[in-house]
Every structure is written in C-alpha cells, then in structure tokens.
Amino acid sequence: MKRYDLIIVGAGPSGLSAAIEAAKKGLNVIVFDENEKPGGQLFKQIHKFFGSKEHRAKVRGFVIGRQLLEEAAEAGVTVKLNATVIGLYQDKEVVVKQGAGIKHYKADSVVIATGAAENMVLFPGWTLPGVIGAGAAQTMMNLHGILPGKKILMLGSGNVGLVVSFQLMQCGCEVVALVDAAPRVGGYGVHASKVARCGVPFYLSHTIVEAEGEEYVKGVTIAEVDDKFRFIPGTEKHFEVDTICMAVGLSPMSQLLKMAGAEMTDDPRRGGQVPVCDKYGRTSIPGVFAAGDVSGIEEASSAMIEGRMAGVIAAQFLGYIDKEELDKELAELDKALDGLRQGMFAPANRGKLIEKTEEGIDISSNLLKKGYVADDEIDRFPGVTHKKGIHPVIECTQNIPCNPCQDACPKKCISIGDNITSLPIAVYEGDCIGCGMCVASCSGQAIFLVDEDCGDGSATITIPYEFLPLPKEGTKGVALGRNGHVVCEAEVVSVRSATAFDKTHLLTMRVPKEYAMTARFFKEAEREVSR
C-alpha cells in the first residue's frame, strides 16, 4: 500500500490550493479526482472574478484554473485523474477506483475538497430531455463548444443562474426568461443588471408549473407564487423553449467525511450536511481536514483560500512547519478570507433582507424585483455623477467585496478606500482621459464612460461588450435601457479592443443627449429580436 504525507480528494480550486501550499512546505502530496481533467468547475467559469488583487480579481475563472495547474506542477504535486475516491476508512486509508481496479492508499493526513453537487426542483416534466442543470449548460458550452439549447428558460436568480444566463447569451442562445420562486434576486445586482439590459425579463415570485413535451422539452409554463410558495391561479405564463436550465443551489458532497466518522451537522446556511469543523477546516478526526464547498457553499475565491489554509494546517499537523510559522501564515489567510466575507452577500447575511447600503443609501427595490436599477433610482448612488466632458458612471449599487476599479484608473478618478465593500465613488483627482480601463476592469460590467453632451445634441456612451459578432464603427442600431427595452436609435462610433481589456471590448455608441443616462446596451438593427 502506497503511503503519502497528504492525500487530497478533489482537484478543484480548494484541493489544488491545498496541494500547492502543502507541497511547498515539503509534504509528499497526491491529489485524486474522479474527472478526466483537473480544475473542478474553474474551467467553466469565463467571467472575471470579484475581490481584490490578492483574490485574483478581474481574472477570468478558467485563467485562474490554468494558473493553479502551473503552480501545482511547479510545486511538484501529483494529480491522479479518472480516480474516484470511494472510501475513507480508519487510520486514513483511502480507497480509490481507477478504471476497473480498486487501489488502497495510506495517508498521514487527508484534505477532503470534494466540492458540491447541484440541487434540483421537481415539477411535472422535470425528467424530460432538455431539462438540464446550469452546470451542464456550462459544461456543454464552455468546455465542449456545444450549444445547450436555442431558446432557454433559466430557473434561479442566484449568481450561478445570473452568470450562466449571461454565458448562454454570449454563445448565441436566447434566454427567454429568468425565473425564481423567491421574491428577490438572489445574486449580485451587477450580474442581474448585465442580463436584464440584454432584454431578459425577470419573473421573481414565479416558478415552473410544468415542462411540456412528450420526448423532449417543447415549452414551459410558469406561474406566480404567494408568500407560502403556492401557485396563484390565473397568473400562468407560457414560453416556447427547447431547454429549461436549473440553477437552484448546491449541496456539499460530504459523504466521504460522514463515512470516515467525522462529526456532521445539518446546516442550511452552509448548504446541507457539512462536517463540524473550525474555521480552518479541522474536522472532529485529527488529521482530516475539509476545504471549499464541502464544508459550506461559497465561491471559488474563498475555496482557494480555505484550501491554502488546509494545506498549511496539514503541514503543521505533520511537523513540517512549527506553530509560529502556521500562525503567521494563517493570520494572512484569515485577512484574505475575511475580506471576501464582507458586505451584503456575506455568509453571515444569508437570507436577510438588506434595505440600505453601508453608506445608508436605500437599495434599489427594482434591482431586487426586476434585475435592474430603475432610471429614477440610479442617481442616488455615489458612483453616478454628472460632469462636463467624458467621465465614468459607476452603477455599482450594492456592497460587495470588490475593488479592481480603483486601481484601474491611471488618473485616480475612482475611489473605494480601504473598506473593500464600499461603493466606488468618482473623485476625479485627475481628469478622466477616457482610456476605458475602469470599464474593462469591472467584473460586474457596471462602469460606463459617458459624455453627456458632445455639443451637437448627442451624447456618447462606452459600454463593456463581450458578444460576437463585434459591431463595427458606423454600425447602426438601437440603444437598450437598463431594462433591456429600446430607448432610442444609436450608432457605434468606436470599438476598442486591447490585451489589457482581456476580451472585454469597449463599444462607444452615439445617442441623442437626452438618453445619456438611460441608454446602457447596444443592439444592431438587423439583429434586433422582437420581444
């Protein structure tokens, strides 16, 4: 039986991070993963991540995946793929299914980083081909280059539902509706806004009545629900779709820990059955640690930090580093993790209705109900200012831990300050030069460059644009408002692309000046879809 200092189960963001840290401290580490490729779900994440520089903010998920794999290779980590861990027994005996055979390994410490599985909701027709998980949609489109469907209804308005809806549109699918039984949008307002302004209607307090079709999905009926989640008769709405996508939460895959005899608890705030563990992932079994979604559903960014914590803790457990070094490392990681767990969406705030920002500003009620900030609400946020000439309009209206915009501006026009969740404000230490770095660096695509009055009755608006085909200078079309409805005619005056923008193109459109503060998306005339 082969022995290792540390066996890690799961080669996702937390497992790889744990492996890198432990291997750097000199541990003999192996990582098992049941999949054909490492990286967990990171390679399906094509949006820019939130956070600050230390959290790899504004880097796209799949790029972070590549970076982790490089770091793991450099640190000398062995990753065994197509290897399903099927048992975790006494004295840290790990049983692994590889191909048709089963092998036994022995470890002195174990990190369980198995992540989470998707939840589903049941409705008549939910088993029909064409009803898929949001993860399946991401796997098909972002890993295999296959369209998950043509006309899609998304169920779930958490970050997964919002992000995947946007990704579906990026690869050419039509998202006909975004539906959630909850009365409020669950994910970040900025993610919702970028979906809403493309014209996707939001149906909160609605859920699926039935999926239609004999052999596969041909349509879907939704209806409004009351505060006890009962259907309200007469509120049914029908959509012709070929695909229904479910993004209704995740559950920790903690079975191995339970099997090993770790003390477990049922904690709905952490997503279900999770191990009882301290904040560094020490379970009730000495030398067995949990990291990432398996110990509580969060984001990939926090999973990577938890993984690093587990890695250094395992190193200290086996005596590769002393207590002093451990405390030093953990203090730093604590700071990084605390930074991510701030703001309105912090784990401690889960399920709470927050009505005011940290600054005391009323949260947009329209944002929570319909996915976009209404035109008469936007001016109350500090990033939205009016100024002669070109200037950034920062439509960031919720306290989330994210700050790349303040470093992006070479003229220091944008400030967040030391509190990472503060709403960005336009300070204009220098004059805006219209470089667009802020537009491209905003992971939430919430910054626009606006010249409210060009002097000839027109205004120009620069928007982040991540679709194909890329409109050209001179392309005529319409400007859409925050709600995705046509507000006026528009013409593209420039499209800028640069390596530093990382695939976010800056599209500048000209509109009549009275629409400077309402036009927020561009649609080519001939490609306009009737709604």
Q: Which residues contribute to the site for another protein (CB under 8 A)?
A: 34-36, 46, 60, 62, 117-118, 127-133, 135-136, 139-142, 144-147, 170-172, 214-216, 466-468, 470, 503
Contacts 24+ apart (CB under 8 A), 71-76: 71/16, 71/20, 72/16, 72/19, 72/20, 72/23, 72/31, 72/38, 75/19, 75/20, 75/23, 75/24, 76/23
Least spacing, CB of residue 162 vs another protein, in Å: 16
Q: How many CA atoms lie within 13 A of 445 on its CB side?
A: 26
Structural tokens at position 355: 């009505």
Choice between 172 and 410, CB closer to another protein: 172
Distance of CA 517 to the CA centre of its chain: 27
Choice between 100 and 353, CB closer to another protein: 100
Residue among 474, 473, 486 nearest 518 (CA): 486
Choice between 161 and 281, CB closer to another protein: 161
Choice between 245 and 310, CB closer to another protein: 245
How would you classify the pairing of strands 101-112 and 2-9? parallel
SS3 403: coil
- The residue to which tokens 């963001």 are assigned: 13
Least spacing, CB of residue 362 vs another protein, in Å: 35
Residue among 97, 16, 72, 4 nearest 291 (CA): 16
Least spacing, CB of residue 131 vs another protein, in Å: 7
Contact between 339 and 155 under an 8 Å Cβ cutoff? The reply is no
Least spacing, CB of residue 166 vs another protein, in Å: 11
CA distance 341 to 325: 24
Choice between 118 and 236, CB closer to another protein: 118
Least spacing, CB of residue 526 vs another protein, in Å: 19
Least spacing, CB of residue 97 vs another protein, in Å: 13
Least spacing, CB of residue 467 vs another protein, in Å: 6
Choice between 331 and 468, CB closer to another protein: 468
Choice between 145 and 457, CB closer to another protein: 145
